[in-house]
Amino acid sequence: MGFPKNFLWGGATAANQYEGGYLSGGKEPSTLDAITGGSHTEPRRITFKTKDGQLESVTREHRLPEGAVGYIDPDLYYPSHVATDFYHHYKEDIALFAEMGFKCFRLSINWSRICPKGTDEVNEEGLAFYDAVFDELKKHNIEPVVTINHFDIPMYLADNLDGWSNRKVIDYFLFFCETIFKRYKNKVKYWMTFNEINFLRSWTQIGIHDNSKQAKFQAAHHLFVASGKAVQLGHEINPEFQIGMMVAYIPSYPMSSRPEDVLEALQFNRDQEFYIDVQVKGYYPAHKLKEFERENIVIEKVPGDDEIIANGTVDYIGFSYYMSTVSSANPENVKFVGGNQMPAVKNPYLAESEWGWAVDPLGLRISLSKLYDRYHIPLFVVENGFGAVDVVEADGSINDDYRIDYFKKHVAAMKDAIDLDGVDLIGYTPWGCIDLVSAGTGEMKKRYGFIYVDLDDNGHGSLARSRKKSFSWYQEVIASNGEKI
């Protein structure tokens, strides 16, 4: 009963939100280095230069004019440039993770640190950085869990090739994969291809200028082919590799028992499951093909693509789980929830975070059970957590009981999914185990960590690390293998 003996307890981060050192050691900019901070009410902006040299900016929901290139304005603050500076603090941070008892640590590799332009030029200093990180983890018996690509793309590929709209980017990505698979062959076992592959935010994430549905799904197809090839290549390089996919899973409940609401929820859910279907079952589901047909969306394929997708299915499903949502067939009920630009209906049975994310531990059990019944492969909760404003008391302590409460209920829900539903769950890596920049809003104020980092929304602060109350709580959870929560 309870969590398996070798359960991977740990924490999760991503390069662009944590690493910093954005031009250090031979790294060149990625798209995310040209995105400003923001807030609840002020969306983050992409800064760029038009074809005629005009400096402009748009939010991530807008398209970039043709020929626009990313531009970093020296007078603006960009949170990714220093982030919470893992680049210079990795030894200290890994020691703190070890103190909590981490069995694993999820990080992403910054593509433009390894291949500065995203092309086939390799930066040895970048490779050496991750060697040092993996060696440090090894010293503490912490297993790295690597996201190959977390929301970023080298800016050169976005500027010159229009990112993932271009098939050539598949080859460049595969070159990047081959480089890191070979280099870290004996240091990394757990990989996942694309973070939250169902969130394809045009330019920042996939480097495309056009934000139409046609462009988005063409790019998604290229990501699927790239992922399928990467899985096959990884297994050839080291058959021991466990390579997963990663999806943001936000289950939706029908607002009522009205069949129209039930259908709405089914459609919302299968739009996310579509990405899992392709990467786990190895083919496009019928409903998506019909949707493309209806909306005149034509996916350009090359002979062999279907086989690559069919033969490159993943070893496990990694997913993020923060909240659930509600679907209603009546558009009047649909509101856009804070900080997250996602259409949602308020659930009267659930409390929300300050950013409007509905707290729903039972939804995690429901998700685990549904995903396991549907796909029958191991599951890994690679993100979960509570974004909140933390207060540092006069004595330096941070009493984040709200966070402990959130985690308690989610750990209990995972235990139920294992014990009562028979789910094969291999690990749990709470998001932002150390404070880092919010992806959605670009804030520091929205914190997730067990470890506090002294930095504010404008980049001021000493970057000093300190333990929150949740630090020792999580330490006990791990020490008792999830029994003492």
Using left for φ > 0, alpha for ψ between -120 and 50, and beta otherwise, residue 439 falls in alpha
Catalytic option among 28, 136, 143, 196: 196
Taking CB atoms, the residue at the shortest distance from ligand P53 is 440
- What are the Cα distances from residue 480, in Å, to 2, 5, 222, 477? 11, 10, 43, 5
Indicate the residue among 309 and 444 with the shorter CB distance to ligand P53: 444
Indicate the residue among 94 and 439 with the shorter CB distance to ligand P53: 439
- The minimum distance between CB 124 and ligand P53, in angstroms, equals 28
383 binds ligand P53 (CB under 6 A): yes
Residue ranges in 8-27 that form contacts with ligand P53 under rule CB under 6 A: 14, 17
Count interface residues toward ligand P53 (CB under 6 A).
Answer: 16
248 binds ligand P53 (CB under 6 A): yes
Indicate the residue among 79 and 234 with the shorter CB distance to ligand P53: 79
Residue ranges in 413-432 that form contacts with ligand P53 under rule CB under 6 A: 431
The answer to whether the Cα torsion of 68, 149, 338, 445 is positive or negative is negative
Catalytic option among 19, 28, 264, 383: 383
Question: Are the C-beta atoms of residues 218 and 296 closer than 8 Å to each other?
Answer: no
340 binds ligand P53 (CB under 6 A): yes
- The minimum distance between CB 197 and ligand P53, in angstroms, equals 11
Query: Could you give the angle at the alpha carbon of 88 between the alpha carbons of 104 and 145, nearest 5°?
Result: 20
Indicate the residue among 71 and 190 with the shorter CB distance to ligand P53: 190
What the block records as the tokens of 97 is 């993770």
If DSSP codes are grouped into helix, strand and coil, which group holds residue 192? Answer: strand
If DSSP codes are grouped into helix, strand and coil, which group holds residue 179? Answer: helix
In the list 45, 117, 229, 446, the residue contacting ligand P53 (rule: CB under 6 A) is: 446
196 classed as catalytic: yes
Question: Are the C-beta atoms of residues 362 and 413 closer than 8 Å to each other?
Answer: yes
In the list 19, 85, 196, 390, the residue contacting ligand P53 (rule: CB under 6 A) is: 196
195 binds ligand P53 (CB under 6 A): yes
φ, ψ at 163 (rounded to 5°): 50, -140
383 classed as catalytic: yes
The answer to whether the Cα torsion of 446, 450, 452, 455 is positive or negative is negative
With CA atoms as reference, report the closest residue to 250 among 359, 146, 350: 359
Indicate the residue among 176 and 431 with the shorter CB distance to ligand P53: 431
Residue 46: beta bridge partners?
35, 58
Indicate the residue among 108 and 166 with the shorter CB distance to ligand P53: 108
358 binds ligand P53 (CB under 6 A): no
φ, ψ at 153 (rounded to 5°): -150, 140
If DSSP codes are grouped into helix, strand and coil, which group holds residue 200? Answer: coil
* Cβ burial 134-165 (10 Å sphere, 16+ → b, else e): bebbeeeebbbbbbbbbbbbbbbbbbbbbbbb
Indicate the residue among 17 and 367 with the shorter CB distance to ligand P53: 17
Question: Are the C-beta atoms of residues 35 and 78 closer than 8 Å to each other?
Answer: yes
Stretch that binds ligand P53, among 92-100, 120-128, 413-421, 438-446 (CB under 6 A): 438-446
In the list 440, 465, 470, 473, the residue contacting ligand P53 (rule: CB under 6 A) is: 440
Stretch that binds ligand P53, among 34-42, 212-220, 404-412, 433-441 (CB under 6 A): 433-441
Question: Are the C-beta atoms of residues 119 and 156 closer than 8 Å to each other?
Answer: yes
279 binds ligand P53 (CB under 6 A): no
In the list 322, 372, 406, 471, the residue contacting ligand P53 (rule: CB under 6 A) is: 322
Q: Name the site residues for ligand P53 (rule: CB under 6 A).
A: 14, 17, 195-196, 248, 320, 322, 340, 383, 387, 431, 438-441, 446
Q: Could you give the residue numbers annotated as active site?
A: 196, 383
